[in-house]
Amino acid sequence: MRLLLISNSTNAGEAYLEYPKRQIADFLAGSAAGGDRAVDTVLFVPYAAVTFSYDEYEAKVAARFGEFGVRVDSVHRHANPAEAVRRAQAIVVGGGNTFHLAKTMQDQGLYEPIREAVLERGVPYVGWSAGSNMSCPTICTTNDMPIVEPLSFKALNLIPFQINPHYLDAHPDGHAGETREMRIEEYIAANKGMNVAGLREGCMLWVENGRMSLIGERPMRLFRYGQAPRELTAKDDLSFLL
C-alpha cells in the first residue's frame, strides 16, 4: 500500500499545490501498480468541489501536475467511474467539502473499487484535505459542514486511524466556543479505541511498505483517549499507527 496524505493544498501566500508538488512528483515517480515504470496518468476524483465545476477542478490540478509530466484524467468524465478506477495507474482525491465527496463517491459506487485498487493491487493513492479524510475509517474528524447527507459517515478505511487536516492550535481572542483540540477530545471520548492525528498545514503523511513518516516542518499532534496529546515530528517513526 502506498499513500500520500496531505493536510492542505495551499499554504498562505503560495500558489495552488505549490508546497507539496515535489513530494507528489517523487511519490508518483515511485512506480505504477504492478510494474517498475513511473505513473504518467492519474485518475482524479473531483467530487469535493461544490462552488466550482469538476471541469475547473480538473484543469487546476492538471496545470500543476503537468509541471512534473503527469497527465490528469478526471473520473467525472467516465460513463463508468468504477471501471475507470479499476484501470487507474494512480488515484488522486482532491480537497473541498468532505460530505459532498463522500456522498458522491458512495452514489457512484467507488468505495470498494478504490479499496481493491489500493489495498490489493498497490495502486498509489494521493489525497489532500478532504481526500486525506477519505482515507480514514470515517469522515467524522473532518472540519467541514454537512452540506449534504451521505449514505453513511464511513470512508475508505485505508488506514486504521483518523486524520484531522488543517489542524489548528489557535484559540482566537474573544472566541468562547470549542477549540479544535476540544472537538477532537469529544470524538475520542465517544470513540475510545480510535487514534486521531492532528495534521497541521504544510505537512503530510507518506505510507509505503508498512511504514509511515511525517513530512513537514511542523509536528503532528496525536490524540488517544485517556492520554495527554503527543507531539510527533518528522524524525519519529509513525508506523505504530498502522
Judge whether 93 and 125 are in contact, CB under 8 Å: yes
C-alpha to C-alpha distance for 239 and 237, rounded to whole angstroms:
6
Catalytic: which of 7, 9, 74, 129?
A: 129
Has 166 been annotated as catalytic? Answer: yes
Residue 99, classed as helix, strand or coil, is: helix
Judge whether 106 and 115 are in contact, CB under 8 Å: no
Catalytic: which of 73, 78, 166, 236?
A: 166
Has 132 been annotated as catalytic? Answer: no
C-alpha cell read off for 110? 467507488
Has 55 been annotated as catalytic? Answer: no
By residue count, the chain amounts to 242
Catalytic: which of 9, 74, 76, 144?
A: 144
Burial of 168 (0-12, 13-18, 19+ CB in 10 A): middle
C-alpha to C-alpha distance for 239 and 208, rounded to whole angstroms:
10
Q: Residues with catalytic annotation?
A: 129, 144, 166
